Amino acid sequence: MAQRAIWLVSHEPGTPHGGTVRFSRRYPTVEKRAKTFNGSSYVPVPEDEPFCKALLFELRLLDDDKDFVESRDSCSRISKASVYGLPIEGRELWPVLALQKNGLIYVSVPLVEQALSTHPPLISISGISQAFDLLFGMIDFFDSGPKTEADLSTKVSQLPDLLLHVCPFGTLLDANFLLDNFSNLSVNQIPKQPAWKAGSYKGKPQVTVSITEKVKSMQYDKRDVADMWQVYGTITCKCDLEGVMPNVTVSLNLPTNGSPLQDILVHPCVTSLDSAVLTSSSVDIMDDSAFSGPYKFPFTPPLESFHLCYYTSQVPVPPILGFYQLKEEDSQLKITIHLKLHESVKNCFEYCEAHIPFYNRGPITHLEYKASFGQVEVLREKSLLVWIIGQKFPKSLEISLSGTVNFNAMGHQKQPVDTICIGGTTYVKLYFRIPDYTLTGCYADQHSVQVFASGKPKITTCRELISSDYYIWNSKAPAPVAYRSLFL
């Protein structure tokens, strides 16, 4: 479980090369191991300039790259896992993990401990999950604080020292780059104190486990376009425990009708893992394996709060199903919205709102509406209707809103503009939070947490479901398609 090389590339559209390598780090000892393991299929890590050019080409980020390239753009090369193969001197460097955010590309090449004549399943490469953790840690580090060029340069200059502590010799020990006390590490530390744990906790022992699930959805109410929804979960832990190396085991459980967890990515502090936990994957559509738990994660916790694991899940239905119809008649718009809460979902919200924006039309001058439930607020200058549903759906679990909206076209220049939402192409976006509930049914209680340390800790667990990019598109007009089913 090691990394051959790490890069930080700045994407610079309009420049001759399209981007610049801001930082790179190679691990020669890991590279020697790669040469031994890969044998005749070994491809050496290239220099920065050819690597940067190959990376930008693969990601279609070169300014003059407009043509279709079979080896890169064919349907067989669709990447669902941010893992790429780069053409290097007539051969392919694989696997290359690349994540993009805020104009920066974070790249790592993990070690594959076998021949690469054919690509092995990603789940069998132990360095893949560590590479993702490493890159996510770098993203958190560069996203913290101001985003000026001077701040970026300062953080780039700090990377070499940080990597000495979090990833010595290419082996990830801790993905947290935000610790501000790396400079205080001393060679005179207690011998048993690990390098990635810069201190020890003194005080009342307590453990907090939080499960946060975010559900995304794109709904169209059309026969030829499949609705899409998926759950993304994060387990966050904070362990205030005395001792140098306390051990904790957190078990995640599912009810009998729960949805299995997939694509599980764990923190480097996890000491061991049942292979069955990692077998279910959403990347391979032909993979019908399902492990329904319990999902056990033994680990030695760092001092700060950390994400124990990430996961996805394919739940059978979205929590709120709806349709939206908008028609333009004369100088006004007629809207109809219908929402239905699925009977299996907990009907107890902290908040639930439907935002109905109108782009490229000017401010709202008049509104007539009829709502079967909740209240409607008009933000005229923002050309936005906010349907405040509240904390509960009615007993029927179905609500509707209909009405007519008029606009002042003279104020169009000062109103929200969108290049996609033109004409009838528009949407309703839902915002909601359900405390003490997860869509998969995943939960952890006091009996799910085992602590092997001095003292009896206070154990706190909580969970929540939050909407994220939850769109319902106008069924009477074209809409951006997030996913089309391969099976008709």
| Any domain includes 197 | no
pLDDT at 395: 94
Pairing of strands 449-452, 247-252: antiparallel
User: Does residue 176 form part of some domain?
Assistant: no
**How would you classify the pairing of strands 458-473 and 206-219?**
parallel
Find, among 119, 57, 46, the residue nearest to 89 by Cα. 46
pLDDT at residue 4, as a whole number: 95
Q: How far apart are CA 207 and CA 413, in angstroms?
A: 53
Token pair, residue 170, equals: 């290419």
Query: What is the structure's pLDDT at 424?
Result: 87
Q: Does residue 412 form part of some domain?
A: yes
What's the pLDDT at 66? 60
In a domain? residue 179: no
Query: Last residue of some domain: 147, 170, 193?
Result: 170
Integer Cα distance of 51 and 469 in angstroms: 34
Same domain for 340 and 455, yes or no, is yes
Last residue of a domain, one of 154, 170, 186: 170
Separation in Å, CA 180 to CA 106, 141, 419 = 22, 11, 43
Residues 260, 374 within the same domain:
yes
Q: Is 420 found in the same domain as 288?
A: yes
In a domain, residue 405? The reply is yes
Burial class (CB in 10 A: 0-12, 13-18, 19+), 420: exposed
| Residue at 391 is within a domain | yes
pLDDT of the chain, 488 residues: tens digit per residue = 799 999 999 998 877 778 899 999 999 899 999 999 999 999 999 999 899 999 998 888 876 666 655 555 555 555 667 899 998 888 999 999 999 998 999 999 999 999 998 888 888 888 898 899 999 999 989 888 777 888 888 888 888 888 888 888 899 888 777 655 454 444 344 435 666 676 778 889 999 999 999 999 999 998 888 899 999 999 999 999 988 788 899 999 999 888 899 889 999 888 888 777 766 666 555 555 567 778 999 998 988 899 999 999 989 999 999 999 999 887 789 999 999 999 999 999 999 999 999 888 888 888 999 999 999 999 877 889 999 999 999 999 999 999 999 988 775 566 667 778 888 889 999 999 999 999 999 999 888 899 988 788 999 999 999 999 999 999 988 888 765 333 32
Residues 43 and 161 in one domain: yes
Task: Count structural domains, the chain.
Answer: 2
Q: Are residues 78 and 145 in the same domain?
A: yes
Is the domain of 159 the same as that of 214? no
Q: For residue 286, is it within any domain? A: yes
Task: Give residue 84's domain range.
Answer: 2-170
pLDDT score for 74: 57
Q: Which pLDDT score, from 0 to 100, does residue 191 have?
A: 39
Query: Do 215 and 141 share a structural domain?
Result: no
285 and 432 co-located in one domain: yes
Report yes or no on 488 lying in a domain: no
165 and 207 co-located in one domain: no
Q: Quick one: 234 and 318 in the same domain?
A: yes
- The answer on 208 and 164 residing in a single domain is no
Parallel, antiparallel, or unpaired: how do β-strands 262-266 and 306-313 relate?
A: antiparallel
Same domain for 126 and 274, yes or no, is no
